[in-house]
Structure 1
């Protein structure tokens, strides 16, 4: 009886533990799913829901399942990431689709041959037949010799009686040398043509991310054979197929350019990254309807291009895009270099043009200005450089450092130290990387200086004692936090500019926003904002153009509602000098006969503004379905208002419609670096044909990317993919702890 009671009590204890574990697991999954739905977790939690399964008799929890919200299928909750990959990504769920747009029928949807999945019958293999011949041939192997009777004496290898086994082994080796792949599914001629066209488009639009030579790889050819497609030669893709696709893209681009009344030429690539490489300049055209067209690439085999040479290249591009010699259709140029030379000189000779520098490059230059002129950066750089060099070079200290890195961060490595010429060459990226490394290893560094072995080293080394005091001092970490905080402010604004690609009227609000953020940074870290303000104003004056003020005033997007209910242009946000710039620019962009008329219309615009109904329609915003941010519902409405509702402003309207659509950043699409490196290694005229082929591939890829409004590169997408994989690993680790 006592034994029975003990058994029942132990059973109850096990059941209670199972109930608690299931409940805890369920609560943990629900917590992770709630965070994921708010945008702080993996994507698949929007389609998977944790379910607590209860015992039908007792009502107690006994297990946790995952339910697919699309098809109500139930799965184990042990690995949600794998469940999502197997059920959602691989198409097992009938109601899940990663791409809403229709596509041609994939080859994988074609039914395989009836017996393709059946196993071949088992057969006897001699001990010397080390390789299974059926693994490399679709034909069944020859029938093996009958097994020897039990009483037969064992014959050693190499004897006269062992010839049958040797023959089988030789046949296996021959099949290995020349395997016969099983035939793929039979496809119709239209299916083959569609598949090959899609394959060619994928290679062309990848722009070097897919190696052409990889198409000749035996595994890829075997794959084509398995799915029923003929082999494809790399020369086929760089021959008539590429020419046909290029002609199609060129005709579409030329037609759109002809339909536009005017355009802005954007030139990107004059400022190559460090170290200096052969720049590949990309030329694009921004149209008033908000679209961007790729024009051409120029391979400049000299990173230090003279200003006059750049001016000639830009003007040749303008004349090539203006059909019939109507050069006035190009109303401006934006480039990431030559802001004070080629652009200004060209603008002075062509009175109708607005030539401006790229604001993305301006913010990057501002970050370098801060690094040069703020004492805080110099102090932090000197301390971190000394610290990183010591911890990298001293073997005893390095061993301790790696030990605590593994404990705190699960990885170990050296701290990045910039080369000595970085600051003199105005390349501060390695210095910023060193700041991030030191701050990221704050806890391992502090653990090292508290270690007894390091204290013994301090007794004999004055540098070790000095660094120990530095690491213990809170000033080092306050300086690093302040420096990295300012770097983050500027870099986040630069990343937003690269993504949003704002227009010219946004320049003044952009710099005002930057001043406000830097002022908050100074207050937070007790920094003298006078020095920071001087750095900002110096960079602002280098990049300022009167068109900033004029576009800000003429764009209905920035109208301000006054006390009477009118929507008036924001003249009160301008300085007196900027107001004069507006008058000068407007009179320059119209004919001398229209100058006084345009200024009178400007006064009327200043006093009357725009009808409130139209102003509210222009400024209406809606959430972006991709990011959730509030954006202007119709970005082209500002220009349309001047062409329709404000048609009485004859002269001023001509200036407005040409100003307010101009972009303030020159960045467009990002090409694949491998193809650009290949292009720069072939100098004309020796390989003129190769250069033409590469330029056609770049044009096709750029045209496709701009058509999809995809401005990212394959490297960025790969980095994002691996970041999401890391996120899945972290979530799975959290599940294991629950």
Structure 2
């Protein structure tokens, strides 16, 4: 993302690329067309018959710059951010000269709104047969009578509406609504069920249904929902599935998934254990990490997940644990060559390496880069200045009634969306927790042009004559330095977050860590030059965080991985020792000596010297480093990621001692996150964590879901996908308002 200081009406999505803005506009336009199409079929609000979404072109480029709503009766244009309010103001209040009440389609009246009418007893000659009389019997009362009238008749006559006072309180018409629903069910004959399914078809359908429940961590209570049960009955499936879905089928599916995972772990010559979800740096011994079944872990309410990374590049789910006791086991201790965790106690991990000389235990790079933002917030004075200034501006706009109304008016004009600047809760300290302050900075920067227009408004100028705070805010907003500093902080955060996103997507191995942090240093240096920031302070913060995350295995994997070999003047492909510092070179020797047995330590060093001087055959080196374009991301990626390890096992068999270490070392991952779990499901389980049965069922469901996700290499979160589907504009409540306008059925 690129940051700017202003936002104009021609670009309703600030700080996005032109292509991204066009996609968002087109997506918004298509979404409104979909809503209108449904409405025209009788499944939406009435006013869509008179409102038509259109694309407004830019006068210079001719490309769409925004989406508007056009009134088909008077050709007026309106913002598309709130169709419900537009319809209310334009049609109901008489603004549209061509709109009349007759243009609004009639809707059936609920019986609770029917006006009492005197009952006229029809003569026997005119009375219809009893089987044709579908009208509701009249309810007698000393205060009122309710009669069911024909819908068309009720629209052709004006009735005097009488307010009903029911026992539930003012406007409590729930009972009548339920009664009306019962009448509708009696009037409408039930749809005849389809042809009966065979037993095999039923079992096959239920297997697929339950797999969908388990693999997506769907709440089991959803199967009891009356609409879902009605659906099951409609398609010919049994609807009493509560016990079956959490009973034998769950146990069988769990046993199947667990057997597959354990078989793959047993077949692997070695593996790495990755864990995330730790709170407060809690860590446990190797016996626990590689242990068998357990009931949970201490250290917070979060779900701690363990994933086994195999040498062939795949990952297998091992377990998920909540709070509770653990069992010790020596399971797979001899084959676990490394651990990577998102939060940990460095001393505990070092002790594990001392106990088991072949192990390499490192920090998660996602956690390290994310912590760097916290470091900048705490140690870079620029962050404190920008946060305090933005909060001062945002709070003044939000709290002053006149200023707030002017801000909302200009924001609607400039950005086609409403809403105030987001500010953190009074309970949160934005100077300590940058996560709560970032939305304020983001909104302030995106509304730069709007805020500048507000302080230039005549009413604000009058306020400045009397209010010193208003003068201070106006001085900041009109000062170019304020916006430069804000953009500097915003761009630095986006820089680090961009790298976090890349790491999360690419899931690099530890050999990539050194070049990753070197790339970060280079970008921070460029940032300092662009915004005139003294380089020394920012670079020290990056270096401090680097040293906290650094492990000698980074340098060793970087040297041993054929992917990073460099072609020299003679045409040889040699290890990139020139990229290491003197200390890192020593780290390589020490680490490889420790990872080898005592008998082979000196042999490893001799083979390392030979590797340094001879390297790899150019043909094989080029084959390892061959890249191709990723069809999904468009980036160039290594064509065969496993070739680095395969070269050591085949072409470099002469390095017997060094090769055994290399194949174990260069496959180790640098991130701990294997997949993202369903947070809403986890919260529900945490609320019932004291129930042994609930925890047992939850662990089985999580295991099945994680196993399926890793099988299809899906590391995303279903909730994030849902958010992407619902994001159609800058207005967070827009789609909610559209759906709220649809009639209840």
Match of 2:692 among 665, 688, 693: 688
Match of 1:279 in 2: 302
* Distance of 1:421 and 1:270 partners within structure 2: 24
Match of 1:300 among 323, 333, 337: 323
- Deviation per residue, 1:448-487 (Å, 9 max, x gap): 1111111111111011011111101111110111111100
Match of 2:524 in 1: 518
1:240-251 residue pairs with structure 2 within 5 A?
Answer: 240-251=248-259
User: Quick one: structure 1 residues 173 and 568, their matched pair in 2 at CA, closer, same or farther if it must change by over 3 Å?
Assistant: closer
Match of 2:355 among 339, 343, 349: 349
* Distance of 1:587 and 1:476 partners within structure 2: 54
Match of 2:202 among 166, 177, 192: 192
* Distance of 2:524 and 2:702 partners within structure 1: 40
Match of 2:685 in 1: 679
Task: Note the residue ranges of structure 2 that are not aligned, 5 or more in a row.
Answer: 1-17, 30-51, 56-107, 112-117, 138-179, 282-298, 736-745
Q: Secondary structure at the match of 1:412?
A: coil
Match of 2:120 among 154, 157, 160: 157
1:493 aligns with 2:499: yes
Match of 2:723 in 1: 719
**How far did 1:659 drift?**
0.5
Match of 2:278 among 264, 270, 274: 270
Match of 2:215 in 1: 205
* Distance of 2:27 and 2:630 partners within structure 1: 18
Q: Secondary structure at the match of 2:257?
A: helix
The 8 Å contact of residues 130 and 169 in structure 1, kept in 2 or not, is answered as no
**How far did 1:390 drift?**
1.4
1:218 aligns with 2:226: yes
Match of 1:617 in 2: 623
**How far did 1:514 drift?**
0.2
The 8 Å contact of residues 246 and 700 in structure 1, kept in 2 or not, is answered as yes
User: Quick one: structure 1 residues 621 and 493, their matched pair in 2 at CA, closer, same or farther if it must change by over 3 Å?
Assistant: same
* Distance of 1:272 and 1:717 partners within structure 2: 29
Match of 2:9 in 1: none
Match of 2:245 among 237, 241, 244: 237
* Distance of 2:110 and 2:472 partners within structure 1: 67
Q: Secondary structure at the match of 1:592?
A: coil
The more displaced of 705-714 and 167-176 is: 167-176
1:385-400 residue pairs with structure 2 within 5 A?
Answer: 385-400=391-406
Match of 2:192 in 1: 183
* Distance of 1:350 and 1:537 partners within structure 2: 29
**How far did 1:164 drift?**
4.8
Q: Secondary structure at the match of 1:334?
A: strand
1:465 aligns with 2:471: yes
TM-score for the superposition, normalised by structure 1: 0.72
Task: Note the residue ranges of structure 1 that are not aligned, 5 or more in a row.
Answer: 1-33, 46-77, 82-128, 133-154, 302-308, 731-738
**How far did 1:615 drift?**
0.7
* Distance of 1:371 and 1:508 partners within structure 2: 24
The 8 Å contact of residues 264 and 285 in structure 1, kept in 2 or not, is answered as yes
* Distance of 2:369 and 2:453 partners within structure 1: 37
Match of 2:268 in 1: 260
1:238-637 residue pairs with structure 2 within 5 A?
Answer: 238-271=246-279, 278-300=301-323, 316=328, 319-320=330-331, 322=332, 327-419=333-425, 422-423=428-429, 426-637=432-643
* Distance of 1:514 and 1:502 partners within structure 2: 15
The 8 Å contact of residues 24 and 728 in structure 2, kept in 1 or not, is answered as no
- Deviation per residue, 1:548-580 (Å, 9 max, x gap): 000000111100011111110101110110000
**How far did 1:399 drift?**
1.7
**How far did 1:185 drift?**
2.6
- Would you say how many aligned residue pairs link Structure 1 and Structure 2? 573
The 8 Å contact of residues 281 and 297 in structure 1, kept in 2 or not, is answered as yes
**How far did 1:41 drift?**
8.6
1:710 aligns with 2:720: no
* Distance of 2:134 and 2:455 partners within structure 1: 69
User: Quick one: structure 1 residues 174 and 522, their matched pair in 2 at CA, closer, same or farther if it must change by over 3 Å?
Assistant: closer
Q: Secondary structure at the match of 2:318?
A: strand
**How far did 1:232 drift?**
4.4
Q: Secondary structure at the match of 2:508?
A: coil
The 8 Å contact of residues 283 and 295 in structure 1, kept in 2 or not, is answered as yes
The more displaced of 565-574 and 376-385 is: 376-385
The 8 Å contact of residues 360 and 498 in structure 1, kept in 2 or not, is answered as yes
- Deviation per residue, 1:120-157 (Å, 9 max, x gap): xxxxxxxxx9999xxxxxxxxxxxxxxxxxxxxxx953
TM-score for the superposition, normalised by structure 2: 0.72
